[in-house]
Structure formats: structure tokens, C-alpha cells
Chains A and B, each alone.
Chain A
């Protein structure tokens, strides 16, 4: 938690950005960060990159499973379907 009210330097700004994107900053920190961003193109780029990577994470979709891994799990399904009482 930051208690000082001096203008932020870049290193501090970067530390706040993930919480900023989360909407989890206090009003005071949010204002300090936004004031810094207004004057700092590098930190503005950093924030854009952070948002971009978060968006890319969310749109990545499921990764392809190795066919053997999928087969093993589907085999569980078949065993269960054929004998639903099995407990192993």
C-alpha cells in the first residue's frame, strides 16, 4: 500500500498497472497513475502491452490435447458407461 503522494516514477507506475487493469486501485493511486500516464509515453505503451497480453490470454482458447492423453480420458468414459458402478 502506498501512502506517499509524490508524483509517481515509472518504476512505481509499472507496479500499479495490473491492479489498475483489475480496477483494484484506491482512488488516490488511480489518480496518481493516470497523472503519470498522461505525461509518459513509455508507461502508456507498457499499459497497452499489458492489456494486450491479458486480452490475448483470454482469447487463446483451449490448447490442443495430445491425442494419447485424450484417448486415455475417453477410455475412462467408455469404462464408466459400460459399468457405471465401478469405483476405480
Chain B
């Protein structure tokens, strides 16, 4: 069932529809909130406030954006306010420095000396196996902010770069730099786990 239908049923008082929306989005909401506030507990509080606001405003949703975008906007407004109260300084991804995951893997001329350990062949084409999905999921959860918020919104939730930029009040160029770093880190984690033979 799509999000808009869940929201409609929620307006009629259907608990299961609300629970399903919570299941779909709570983790992402916590991750994005974490970009603005100082602690996990504080992020969870902001997310609870967000769900309260969803309950109050659900019947006023007009479908001019997707439910997802509407939900993220409610969250970001609250998270930003909470962050200001906490005097949280928003983490910046300093431009100009690398992501660190590929340090020492090139020679002085910039050619691979320690090339990527192949893993794409080991995975059945077109079918993403559960193991890679689990590795990627874990790696995203360990990304520092703002990479975690940006990678979650862009690659997990499928928002466009422009939507992510507007939501987080970043330039699109910055979103792309942050995305590049975050993706490189996630790939690096998958590679080192597979190379190390771990799970």
C-alpha cells in the first residue's frame, strides 16, 4: 500500500496504517534528526514530536509533495529548532580532504597499487544478495554526519540530489561531495569485510 493511502487511512483512525508509516520511516527520521541534534536520545525525541505533528496535520496533507517529502520537512523543521536550542553546530564535511578510505592505495602517480578487491563477480548479477544488503545497511548506520543523513536520503530513500539539498539547506554541489565521501566509505567497508572473509 502506498504512503498516501496509509495517510488517508490514518486520518480515519486506522492504527495499523500509522504503525506501517512508522516502520517505513522511523529509522530514516532518526538518522536525519541526528544531523541536527547532539544525541541519539534527543533525535528520538524530535522524531516522536514529528509523529505527533503527523497525527495533527495528516488531514491537511494536500498531496502537493510526496508523503515522504512532507514527512521529512516536518522533521527537519523540528530538528533544526531543537538543534538551535542545544547550540548544536552542524557538522560540516570539510571540502578538499579525501574520505580516507583509499589512502595509501595509489602510487605517487595516482595509479592503483592495492586495487579494489573484486567482489562484484562473486555476486549473482541483478540479484543483490542479503549479505551485501546487510553489510551496506550496517555501513550506512556507522557513517558520520552529514554523510549519514545525505546517503540515507539520496540512496536509501531515493530523494533527488536537489530535494536533499533543499531539505538540508545545502548546495547541490555540497550534497554531491558529501555523497561521494559517504558512498566511498560504504563501498570500502563492504570491500574490507569481504576481503577479510568476515560477514
Residues of chain A whose beta carbon lies under 8 Å from any beta carbon of chain B = 9-12, 14-15, 17-19, 22, 24, 42-43, 45-46, 48-50, 52-60, 62-63, 65, 69-70, 72-74, 76-78, 80-81
Contacts and interface: CB of A to CB of B under 8 A. Distances in A.
Given A24-B161, A60-B137, A65 B23 contact: yes
Question: What's the interface size class on B, roughly?
Answer: 35 or more
A59 B155 CA distance: 9
Interface on chain B toward A: helix, strand, loop, or mixed SS?
Answer: helix
B133 interface: yes
Q: What are the 6 tightest A-B residue pairs by CB atom distance, in nearest-first order? A: A9-B110, A18-B180, A11-B110, A42-B115, A57-B155, A56-B136
A53 B187 contact: yes
A72 B187 contact: no
A17 B99 CA distance: 14
Interface in B1-55: 13, 15, 18-19, 22-27, 44, 48, 51-52, 55
Interface of B: 13, 15, 18-19, 22-27, 44, 48, 51-52, 55-56, 102, 106, 109-112, 115-116, 118-120, 123, 128, 132-133, 135-137, 139-140, 151, 155-156, 158, 161, 176, 179-180, 183-184, 186-187, 190-191
Given A59-B128, A76-B52, 7 more contacts: A14-B184, A46-B116, A49-B120, A56-B128, A57-B156, A60-B136, A74-B19
